[in-house]
Amino acid sequence: MRRLWLIFAQTVTVSLAVFFVVSTLKPEWLGRRSPAGTSVVALQEQASSSPPVFAATSYRDAAAKALPSVVHVFTSQKIKARRSPLFDDPVFRHFFGDSAEGDGPKTSGLGSGVIVSANGFILTNYHVVEGADQIEVALSDGRNLDARLVGSDPESDLAVLQISEQNGKQLTLPAMTLGKMDNIGVGDVTLAIGNPFGVGQTVTMGIISALGRSHLGINTFENFIQTDAAINPGNSGGALVDSQGNLIGINTAIYSRSGGSLGIGFAIPISIARDVMEQIIQTGSVTRGWIGVEAQEITIDLAESFGLPDTGGALIAGVLRGSPADAGGIKPGDILLAVAGRPVKNPQDMLDLIAGQKPGETVAFRLRRQNSMLETNVKIGKRAPQRRER
């Protein structure tokens, strides 16, 4: 009896072991299905039949779309020779003439630009064409054409050129599609297109490293896109495009100790560039708001000394007498918290928000004065044009 019991127990144990192995490795032999009602074989077949997902391995379509719209900008500037005192001598001028004074040598510069309209408007950096006596643009198809300066904005480092008609014929040029800042974010792939070191049209790839970069001391109004796409001298004024070939920025500056790319480049966002470009095309200049105050950043120490809850806002350090701010009741020591309902985070924010207001309009300002909050209306004035510091 005991022998039969041992045989039965061993048989059950072996059967359970075989059942476990088969159900794990070959459940289809048992006709079993997954909890969702699908057998493992069916799931494998379904997975193999679904289309594979691949990461983009080439951006040739984006480059092909954008390349024809990027141009090379060549400039020249005459350097006036220092006048010799001998030219004040009538005898000297009698023998050598006025032509002996001559012109000084010429300096040349190079950069890039982006065609933004089919009738020849080109967007570039102001520092590319600053002080130029002659501007020439080389198109991607090999044509070299003269260009005129429509207008410039030194405070944002932007300028608009226009290509002259060729042989009296109106040109039709490949304009780049303008992108939208709402559609881009940190980590998106970008292509930088320009003419680095004058070697010719070049495309480099990277990602958007950061948005809203400011306090760099490059321009008065700063809100840069930072990218690690290689940007070098000669790329200034060129295009920063997205993976679809749409223009999202104008390449402007690099952070470098050697003059070469270190993977930190800055581009002016298309949202700012579009606004400046439209004003220049319509009026030849850019109009910005102004109220006549000097602002200071609120540090942690200042916040503690003033008893402030945080470091947000801009401390009004000075008010110009007779300015719109003076007329609106703003006083030194006030903390500006909002302009037209939009919060002010720091002095740069304050400058941008006020500059974006239309001169002549009355705008609401929210202030903190000592321990109380107050609202005041200020009639916006017109900001005087500022020269770019070299």
In the annotation, is 242 catalytic? no
Cα 306 from chain centroid? 36
In the annotation, is 88 catalytic? no
Residue pair 312/361 in contact (Cβ under 8 Å)? The answer is no
Q: What is the DSSP letter of 181?
A: G
Residue pair 72/90 in contact (Cβ under 8 Å)? The answer is no
In the annotation, is 98 catalytic? no
Inter-CA distances, 310 with 201, 301, 304, Å:
49, 11, 9
Considering the candidates 69, 127, 152, 352, report the single residue annotated as catalytic. Answer: 127
The H-assigned helical ranges of the chain are 2-25, 40-49, 60-66, 90-96, 126-129, 270-283, 300-306, 324-327, 347-355
Inter-CA distances, 8 with 5, 14, 22, 217, Å:
5, 10, 21, 89
Considering the candidates 236, 242, 349, 352, report the single residue annotated as catalytic. Answer: 236
Joined together, the tokens standing for residue 282 give: 């319509």
Inter-CA distances, 372 with 170, 231, 244, 337, Å:
62, 49, 51, 12
Question: Residue 123 CB: number of other CB atoms within 10 A?
Answer: 26
Burial bucket for residue 157 (CB in 10 Å: 0-12, 13-18, 19+)? buried
3-class secondary structure, 285: coil
Considering the candidates 72, 112, 156, 157, report the single residue annotated as catalytic. Answer: 157
Q: Nearest CA to 252 among 217, 201, 207?
A: 217
> Which residues have a catalytic role annotated?
127, 157, 236
